Amino acid sequence: MSEVKEEMPTINRRHSGTVHSLKISIKRRRTGEFIARNSMLTDLFQVSHIKCVRNAFAAGFIIMILRHMVNDFLHYGRLNWTFELLSLTVGKLHIVVLVWTLMTLSASFGVYYGSYMWTHHRRSDGINSRNVVIGSYDMIWLTIYICYLAGLMVIPCWQIIYHQLPLVSSAIIIAEQLRLLMKVHSFVRENVRKMSKQTISASDQQLSHLHQYLYFLFVPTLIYRDTYPRTSTIEWNVAWKMFGQFLLLLILVYQLIAYYWMPVFAQCFAVNEITLEFVITAIFDLMLPGTLIIILTFYGFFHCWMNGFAELLQFADRMFYEDWWNFTSAATFWRSWNVIVHDWLYVYVYKDLTTIFSGSRNLSTACVVILSAIFHEYFMIVSLGFLSPILIAWFGLFGMAFRFAFPQTKGSQWNILLLTFIPICAGIIPFLYALEVSARSSPSERESFSKMTSTSSKQSKSDL
């Protein structure tokens, strides 16, 4: 331990503020607080003992890729990588770009200039003469705002259904839709709060500037502020490194899904009767690759993707996650896994519900958990094209049960227990969705699915 402590680095960045040590970076932050700090793994990887763990993962994946290459050359005399899964799930990207562009433009200029019109006319002498008139005027703009949010929810979904977009293309649109919804709501709420504290004769300049809002739309945070801590320069080597790692991780995730998950999914389409033995075997076969997919997705998105964009935009607060791997309670995990969304839910949902429910924290927490489960299920419904409330049941019911059953537990035994549920979730959830897809598929779709997975199944068997 003494050797590890000696290697604990300081954050050597070009921040305008004070340099923070690793100990400050690890301690619990205040929600909505923005200070210059690195991501936790950025600092931990400067410790040789921790960096060795990442290198071990990299070595393991290199061996996995070499294994596939060697087997291909031994059995086929060439590389025999299949891309049927990629062609099936990704397509019509011109529609994706068009829908994303229209959503972004409406969220950028439509929302800002709508807010400007509300602010400007609200301060005119005619509007401000009586509070009753102000209330009616605000209700009109509130109705317009709600209609805009409804349009932002409905129109992209309609385009997905109309153009029959594949899985990944649909998921990209829905992910961006939810991101813009939360961004827009944060901007409107913060400016409404700011305007409500000002006098009637205040200057129009008190509304946030357009360049501040446009910057907020692309920085990796969902809490709006007029200013954020910034770095003085862009380290292009860091940005290229982050995006390069993200691309490599995408390839690894694809390999895991195509060669380890798809053969198991193919069995769901092939069997005539679902037996208990088949269910247990399939779930355990999905657990290990599912856990690796979760780890790679976390590292690729929350560390590489977020840090890459933060570097390009000189965004200095890199606290996108905390040490969720040390969690001993479900509440700690949800706070630490995705800090960005957690902060938004806490500021704009939990605190409002606590006020509405007269300070009832448990009821507010339950509503936040259910709302989060609903939006996760909404993401899956639109992406997959059918309703199967698996995530609502799993995260809404089981997640809530764990949240209240283990509120403030401590000790390594609880960390082991809760870490065990990660591979269990990684096995059960995809298996249930595979069963649902199999049950809903027509015979022709079953043949198409079996054809797509046949190459993966043969490859997996040859490896064994």
Which pLDDT belongs to residue 52?
A: 87
Stretch 249-271: mean pLDDT: 85
Residue 197 has pLDDT above 70, yes or no: no
pTM of the prediction? Answer: 0.82
Question: Where is average pLDDT lowest: 52-61, 268-277, 334-343?
Answer: 268-277
Q: Which tens digits make up the pLDDT trace of 269-284?
A: 777 777 888 889 899 9
Respond yes or no: is residue 376 known to be catalytic.
yes
Q: What does the alpha-carbon distance between residue 419 and residue 330 come to, in Å, rounded to a whole number?
A: 10
Question: Where is average pLDDT lowest: 15-24, 295-304, 346-355, 427-436?
Answer: 15-24
Neighbour count for residue 371 (Cβ, 10 Å): 15
Stretch 278-302: mean pLDDT: 91
From first CA to last CA, the distance across the chain in angstroms is 41
Residue 309 has pLDDT above 80, yes or no: yes
Residue 217 has pLDDT above 70, yes or no: yes
**pLDDT over 90, % of the chain:** 30
Question: Where is average pLDDT lowest: 78-87, 316-325, 408-417, 444-453?
Answer: 444-453
Domains of the chain, by residue range, sit at: 93-218, 234-463
Which residue in the list 20, 68, 303, 376 is annotated as catalytic?
A: 376
Which pLDDT belongs to residue 406?
A: 63
The answer to whether the beta carbons of residues 263 and 85 sit under 8 Å apart is no
Annotate 379-429 with DSSP letters as a single string.
HHHHHHTS--THHIIIIIIIHHHHHHHSSS--SHHHHHHHHHHHHHHHHHH
Q: What does the alpha-carbon distance between residue 201 and residue 86 come to, in Å, rounded to a whole number?
A: 58
261: Cβ contacts below 8 Å, ≥ 6 apart: 286, 289, 290, 430
Residue 6 has pLDDT above 50, yes or no: no
3-state helix, strand, coil in the chain (%, to 5): 75, 0, 25
If we measure between CA atoms, which residue out of 117, 202, 187, 119 comes closest to residue 149? 187
Residue 313 has pLDDT above 50, yes or no: yes
Higher pLDDT, 130 or 304: 304
Stretch 29-49: mean pLDDT: 84
Which pLDDT belongs to residue 180?
A: 95
Placement of tokens 């944060």 in the chain: 186
- In this prediction, residue 237 has a pLDDT band, given cuts at 50, 70 and 90, of very high
Computed over every residue of the chain, the mean pLDDT equals 80
Q: Which tens digits make up the pLDDT trace of 359-375?
A: 778 788 888 888 888 88
Q: What does the alpha-carbon distance between residue 460 and residue 464 come to, in Å, rounded to a whole number?
A: 6
Question: Where is average pLDDT lowest: 15-24, 323-332, 393-402?
Answer: 15-24
Paired residues of 230 in beta bridges:
315
Q: Which tens digits make up the pLDDT trace of 13-23?
A: 444 443 344 44
- In this prediction, residue 124 has a pLDDT band, given cuts at 50, 70 and 90, of low
Residue 327 has pLDDT above 70, yes or no: yes
Alpha helical stretches, state H, 164-221 = 167-196, 210-218
The answer to whether the beta carbons of residues 16 and 30 sit under 8 Å apart is no
